[in-house]
Amino acid sequence: METALSKYIKIRSSIEAGTVTAIKAQKSISRVSLYLDESFAFGLAVSVLAGSPVKVGQRLSAEVLRSLLDADFKQKARHVAFNYLSFRARTASELRLRLNKYSGSAEFVEEIVEEFIKLQLVDDESYALEFVSSRHRSKGHGPSRLRSDLMKKGVNREIIEAALSSLDSTRMDQRAEDLLRTKWRSYGRLESTEKRRNRSIAFLLRRGYNYGIARDAYNKVENDSTDQA
């Protein structure tokens, strides 16, 4: 199956100088077809054509035609990026990976990613802060789990640590306790105190809390359970 990149490379490598004999609208109102010497050459975004001096009757060099193709390919890649970001926020690394699948051109990809960063359409700092806040609040994930998840998304370590520092330690302790209480109906039935302790701490460690927080949460929930017995 011909990819967008292979099609672009194929046209670009075979392009030759020619005279523009027609510019026709395509089914998509945002694109036109460029004809050279009475034959279809390639399609262009209307915005790319509007930003160039191209007109019917003009003879264009191969260099100029390649520059038009390059501009059009970048425009398509931008649309891919916009669509990708329209579903939810992404990290710069996630956007880079998506664009690499489309274009395969490191130069184009970096140019677009940097452009989107400058426009603040991609902002790893804001993403990390929101990710930490929402995952901790809705899923109860602790620092270790949050750190690991953000690293998988390609976020810089310094940005991750800054986002994690926004977590309130007191609320984090309480969140660990609340999380453990949701499991206490099953853990509390275990006759062995050691088994209850081990399973409780292992559960919280998997959720990303350190041993100290997990231990303290277990002690609090265990003591409360004993007092109510």
- The predicted-structure confidence for 62-115, as pLDDT tens digits, reads as follows 999 999 999 999 898 899 999 999 989 999 999 999 998 887 778 889 999 999
Helix (H) or strand (E) holding 61: none
Q: Tens digits of per-residue pLDDT, 194-208?
A: 888 898 999 999 989
SS3 track for 147-191: HHHHHHCCCCHHHHHHHHCCCCHHHHHHHHHHHHHCCHHHHCCCC
Predicted local confidence at residue 169, as pLDDT = 79
Is 90 exceeded by the pLDDT of residue 126? yes
Task: Report percent pLDDT > 70 for the chain.
Answer: 97
Task: Report percent pLDDT > 90 for the chain.
Answer: 59
Give 1's strand partners.
none
Kindly report the length of the chain: 229
Q: Tens digits of per-residue pLDDT, 14-54?
A: 999 999 999 999 998 999 999 999 999 999 999 999 988 89
Predicted local confidence at residue 39, as pLDDT = 94
- Can you tell me the distance from the alpha carbon of 53 to that of 67, in angstroms, rounded to the nearest whole number? 12
**pTM confidence score:** 0.77
- Can you tell me the distance from the alpha carbon of 57 to that of 35, in angstroms, rounded to the nearest whole number? 10
At 134, which amino acid appears? Answer: S
Give 222's pLDDT tier (boundaries 50, 70, 90).
confident
Q: What is the mean pLDDT of residues 188-194?
A: 78
- Can you tell me the distance from the alpha carbon of 122 to that of 107, in angstroms, rounded to the nearest whole number? 18
Is 80 exceeded by the pLDDT of residue 173? yes
